[in-house]
Structure 1
Amino acid sequence: MHKILANKVVGISELKTNPAAILTAAAEEPVAILNRNKPAGYIISPEVWEAIADRLEDIELTAIANKRLNDGNKPVKVSLDEL
């Protein structure tokens, strides 16, 4: 059993038939593309992709900051004016 992570689903043949309609639907929320009733992919809007990419970058930067905070070196205080 495959988990589908979207409220809207279309078959791959429908995507081939009317891709513009699927892209329009994806502007509102993710659309799962099914091939033989299994998820073959997802279509999302550029805005959703940008939000996902920003979130991933934030997670990566948080991990770097935590690693540096816990590296054993003494923190150095600076003010915004000094930067």
Structure 2
Amino acid sequence: MTYEILADIVASISELKKNPMATIKSANGEALAILNHNKPVCYCISPEIYEAMLDIIDDIVLAKIVREREGEEGIEVDINDL
């Protein structure tokens, strides 16, 4: 059976168990696929990549809300009434 690996850098789960930080550092901030019996079981990513992914997901969700509300009629509000 073949598996798609969505990272350019891979390591075995045995390598990860032996020296987790060295294995993670070897990816130099790039996505790292962890393989168990040549099957990807997880991906390690840097906090910066994770944060960027969450920002992109948040933007997509907010854009969907904007599109859904595009046709709604606005409500006029006076700032002094708030």
Query: Normalising to structure 1: TM-score of the pair?
Result: 0.81
For the pair 1:34 / 2:41, whether they are aligned, the reply is no
* Number of residue-to-residue matches in the alignment: 75
Q: Which amino acid aligns with 2:14?
A: S
Tell me the C-alpha RMSD between the 2 structures: 1.7
Q: C-alpha distance in 2, partners of 1:76/1:59?
A: 25
In the alignment, the residues of structure 2 paired with residue 66 and residue 5 of structure 1 have an alpha-carbon distance, to the nearest angstrom, of: 31
Q: Which runs of 4+ in 1 moved over 6 A?
A: none
Any gaps of 5 or more consecutive residues in structure 1?
A: 78-83
Contact 1:2 1:38 survives alignment (8 Å): yes
Task: Determine if the alignment matches structure 1 residue 16 to structure 2 residue 32.
Answer: no
Match of 1:52 in 2: 53
Q: Which runs of 5+ in 2 are unaligned?
A: 77-82
Q: In the alignment, which residue of structure 2 is the partner of 1:69?
A: 70
- CA-CA distance at 1:21 after TM superposition: 1.0
